[in-house]
Amino acid sequence: MKRRQVLIGAASVLGAAACGAPSGTERLRYWNLFGGGDGVRMVELIDAFAASRPDLDFQASTLTWGPPYYTKLSMASAGGRAPDVAILHLARLPSFAPGRLLDPFPRQLLTELGITPENFLPEIWDRCVVDGEVYAIPLDTHPFVMYYNTDLCRQLGLTDANGTLVPLRGADDLVAAWSEAKKLTGGYGLVLDNFGVSPWRLWWTLYRQLDGDLLNADATALVIDDAKALQALDFMRRLSVTDAVAPGQMLLSGAVALFGSGKAAFLFNGEWEVTTFQTQKTPFSMTPFPEVFPGTASAAGIARTQADCHTFVLPHQRDRTVAGTRPALDYVRFMLERSVDWAAGGHVPAWLPATRSPDYLALDPQSRYRDAAATAQLDPPAWFSGSASNMENLAGTAFGAVQAGTLTPEAGLARFKADMQRLIDTPAPV
Amino acid sequence: MAVETPQRAPAETPAPREPGKPRNLTGLWFALPFLLIYAVFMIWPILAGLWSSLFNTSLAGGDVEFLGLGNYAEMARDGAVWDSLWNTAYFTLLSTPPLVLAGLGMALLAHRARRTGWLLRFAFFMPFLLPVTVVALIWLWIYQSDFGLLNAAIEWFGGDPVAWINDERTAMWAVVICTLWWTVGFNFLLYLAALQGIPRELHESAAVDGATPGQRLWRITLPLLRRTTGLVLVLQLIASLKIFDQVYLLNEGNAGPITRPLIQYVYEQGFTSYRIGYASAISYLLFLIIIVVAFAQFKIFSAGRDD
């Protein structure tokens, strides 16, 4: 097997040389961080692309999500020997020094392949453009959503004739529903996790529903609105401490296990757990994150919710050429076209033609929260923000302690503000 | 009969050394491969780290600016450095005594046990062979606040569940207990080897003279284990000061400030925030502490040595 691959490799090099191809066998190296339920879909799509392009020497690597991934990617880019194309969270773009760690997408190739602004939501596309150059191509948006157990909600009388959750709005109505659910399950009404970046996701959702701002435009000053920040934290404390309908010291794995086994009726999490619950045959569906503070939703009735986007980027290579970037762009184009297959794993496609296709609209529950992409609230731009960033982890610690009841909302906010000030004062390393 | 005195081979008498000429270079050639690797992978990184601690070196590349002692000044003001240093010190204080004493106790047990000795040796040493990821996973499920083994036992006896890893009161103990289970086997092994090196005659003659088992333990075994205790203590202190992996893994990569040890703060600054220069400065603080501890320990134990 090995030998045959070597022989084929050698033959194709010879063949290419004989044809006078400029660059021999074209190489395409791709890095991503999808290790969860979405990772399975990614591997299927990678295999499909490899099968469709036997002329390419295509190698895809999946690395551990979070700081390990971003550390490796930034070091490879700093050395100028990075993979040809990679996944990056859109909110992490400022921390990747566009222009130094990332190379811009060649305009003529984007036009040629039809990867143009009108195919994406403007508020997402705008964040991909830095100094007039395109540095990222959005693949999807992944909002924070609410999962619900359809069996338990039916028993609670919270579903309509089709088994869909009736609209729940406002802190009191929501807490009342979760408290009924708690009586039914005997454990929790709602589960969420209180460590890592999840407390940040919840707080940012609530705070943005109140229209609060955190940083000024160039991330040099904290402009937090204490009253709104506390209102959001009070609600978080209410869930796990005052009304105690949700856990205050739960890990993500535990929250997913409890919801998956029907020991809780609701779950707050990103939408990437769809495959997990489908595999476990949990009776469930999903809705956009509820409007906790009434009157704050968009005209379409969808409340603001924390989100980030997976994008494709070109990590910096010393000898990158426009022609050499072509296979990477072909791959990006392929992935955008197969957005519906990707969406089956939970993420909302960024490619607008896909979101309008009947195949996507037929995906249930994946298409139920698609409108949340339009109200997606990404982290404020800064070198220290974005998925798995320092800011998210520090906020997770301060706000997680509020959820656990070990810090008051005031003390949690004070700790978060002190941490933020330290990040702002730190000279940007990018 | 004439006695022939065999002529001594000239090679056997060491030739008088010519001044200024090295005696023998053969040894150096044998050591060279090691010295090369040592220089490339130890000396050079240590010097490079010291060098970059004087600059605002970034993992993301870019222009580098000389800061002088700026990183060290920032470190002095950074509360997170001192909090994590305290966590490291607190862990060392909590973990070192039980790790040394339990290692000794287990070695005494396994040494005495005649029939079950092999089983004890195997059982005591086995956790040490596990990779840290496996250890962290095992204890993560034991400590899980909602359906962990430990809380299930507590609830069975009618107690309230505890968030072992995330409650400020129990978090460090949780790490200490996990570490004790995992690494005590190494100290156990050192003690067991030392125990087996104590001549049996000493115990036999003491027993003949009427010494009780307790007297034999205090007057023969423990004094003869002194040098091993010194070694175990130094190795243990250094290992405890270098704690990182199990805390990082037990917290699923997000230790937060509760149990975050200094090395994790170095990791966060250097790799999550790209601030390699600042991270190098903090590592030098820990390097200095470890050198001082090891040196003090070495002095104390070599000064009191009888031989």
Looking at per-residue pLDDT, the higher value among A398 and A299 belongs to A398
- Whether B145 has its CB under 8 Å from any CB of chain A: the answer is yes
| Separation between Cα atoms, residue A208 and residue A211, nearest integer Å | 5
Residue A134 is predicted with a pLDDT of 96
In contact, A136 and A90? CB cutoff 8 Å: yes
Whether B253 and A196 lie within 8 Å, measured CB to CB: yes
b/e string for A400-425 if b means 16 or more Cβ within 10 A?
A: bbbbbebbbbeebbebbeebbebbbe
Looking at per-residue pLDDT, the higher value among A223 and B267 belongs to A223
Mean of the per-residue pLDDT values of chain B: 86
- Confidence band, pLDDT 50/70/90 cuts, at residue A12: very low
* Main-chain dihedrals φ then ψ at residue A85, nearest 5 degrees: -150, 150
User: Each residue of B191-205: pLDDT tens digit?
Assistant: 999 999 998 888 889
Whether A249 and B252 lie within 8 Å, measured CB to CB: no
Own/partner long-range contacts of A252-261 (Cβ < 8 Å, ≥24 apart): A252/A193, A252/A195, A252/A196, A252/A198, A252/B252, A253/B252, A254/A191, A254/A193, A254/B144, A254/B145, A254/B146, A254/B147, A255/A191, A255/A192, A255/A193, A257/B147, A258/A187, A258/A188, A258/A191, A258/B146, A259/A147, A259/A149, A259/A191, A259/A284
Is residue A1 predicted with pLDDT exceeding 50?
A: no
b/e string for A345-381 if b means 16 or more Cβ within 10 A?
A: bbbbbbbeebbebeebeebebbbbbbbbbebbbbbbb
DSSP A349: E
CB atoms under 10 Å from CB of A28, counted, come to 22
Whether B60 and A406 lie within 8 Å, measured CB to CB: no
In contact, A202 and A192? CB cutoff 8 Å: yes
CB atoms under 10 Å from CB of A328, counted, come to 22
**Residues of chain B neighbouring A251 (CB-CB closer than 8 A):** 144-145, 252
For testing the chain B interface, which of A249, A318, A415 should be mutated: the one with the most B CBs within 10 Å?
A249
CA angle (A376, A243, A169) in 5-degree steps: 40
Q: Which residue is closest to A423 within chain B, CA to CA?
A: B273
- Whether B268 has its CB under 8 Å from any CB of chain A: the answer is yes
DSSP A356: T
Looking at per-residue pLDDT, the higher value among B19 and A186 belongs to A186
| Separation between Cα atoms, residue A44 and residue A38, nearest integer Å | 10
* Main-chain dihedrals φ then ψ at residue B21, nearest 5 degrees: -105, 130
Per 3-state DSSP, chain A is made up of helix, strand and coil in percentages (nearest 5) of 50, 15, 35
User: Each residue of B61-94: pLDDT tens digit?
Assistant: 777 889 889 999 999 988 889 999 999 999 999 9
Q: Which residue is closest to A250 within chain B, CA to CA?
A: B145
Of A100, A251, A384, the CB nearest to B61: A100
| Separation between Cα atoms, residue A336 and residue A347, nearest integer Å | 13
Is residue A144 predicted with pLDDT exceeding 50?
A: yes
Residue-wise DSSP of A148-211: EEHHHHHHTT-B-TTSPBPP-BSHHHHHHHHHHHHHHHSS-SEE---STTHHHHHHHHHHHHTT
b/e string for A154-164 if b means 16 or more Cβ within 10 A?
A: eebebbeeeeb
With a CB cutoff of 8 Å and minimum separation 6, the contacts of A395 are A197, A199, A200, A203, A204, A416, A419
Mean of the per-residue pLDDT values of chain A: 90
CB atoms under 10 Å from CB of B169, counted, come to 10
Interface A:B, Cβ pairs < 8 A: 92
Is residue B7 predicted with pLDDT exceeding 70?
A: no
Polymer length in residues for chain B: 307
Minimal C-alpha gap between B284 and chain A (Å): 20
Nearest-10 Cα torsion for A218, A385, A241, A172: 60
- Confidence band, pLDDT 50/70/90 cuts, at residue A427: confident
The answer for B 176-215 residues in CB contact with A (under 8 A) is: none
Query: What SS3 state is found at A285?
Result: strand
Residue B63 is predicted with a pLDDT of 79
Burial of A172 (0-12, 13-18, 19+ CB in 10 A): exposed
Of B145, B251, B258, the CB nearest to A250: B145
Query: Which of B178, B250, B150 has the alpha carbon at shortest distance from A251?
Result: B250
In contact, A425 and A262? CB cutoff 8 Å: no
| Separation between Cα atoms, residue B15 and residue B13, nearest integer Å | 6
Find the helix or strand (DSSP H, E) in which B302 lies: helix B276-303
Looking up tokens 């601030």 gives B275
Token pair recorded at residue A129: 């453009």
Query: What SS3 state is found at B49?
Result: helix
Minimal C-alpha gap between B206 and chain A (Å): 58
User: Each residue of B147-165: pLDDT tens digit?
Assistant: 789 988 998 898 888 878 8
- Whether B155 has its CB under 8 Å from any CB of chain A: the answer is no
**Residues of chain B neighbouring A389 (CB-CB closer than 8 A):** 272
| Separation between Cα atoms, residue B283 and residue A199, nearest integer Å | 30
Query: Which of A376, A366, A367, A370 has the alpha carbon at shortest distance from A345?
Result: A366
Q: Are strands A26-32 and A56-62 parallel, antiparallel or unpaired?
A: parallel
Token pair recorded at residue B2: 């004439």
Is residue B307 predicted with pLDDT exceeding 50?
A: no
Cross-strand bridge partners of residue A284: A149
User: Each residue of A376-391: pLDDT tens digit?
Assistant: 999 999 999 999 888 9
- Whether B251 has its CB under 8 Å from any CB of chain A: the answer is yes
Residue A15 is predicted with a pLDDT of 39
User: Each residue of A334-350: pLDDT tens digit?
Assistant: 999 999 999 998 999 99
* Alpha-helical regions (H) of A57-170: 67-78, 107-112, 122-128, 150-155
Q: Provide the phi-psi class of A149: left if phi over 0, else alpha when psi is between -120 and 50, else beta.
A: beta
User: Each residue of A20-75: pLDDT tens digit?
Assistant: 344 457 889 999 999 877 888 899 999 999 999 999 999 999 998 888 899 899 88
Least confident of A31-40, A128-137, A307-316, A366-375: A31-40
- Whether B297 has its CB under 8 Å from any CB of chain A: the answer is no
Q: Provide the phi-psi class of B256: left if phi over 0, else alpha when psi is between -120 and 50, else beta.
A: left
Query: Which of A80, A181, A102, A86 has the alpha carbon at shortest distance from A139?
Result: A86
Mean pLDDT score, A120-142: 95
* Main-chain dihedrals φ then ψ at residue A194, nearest 5 degrees: -110, 15
Residue-wise DSSP of A368-398: TTGGGGGGEEPPPS-TT-STT-HHHHHHHHH
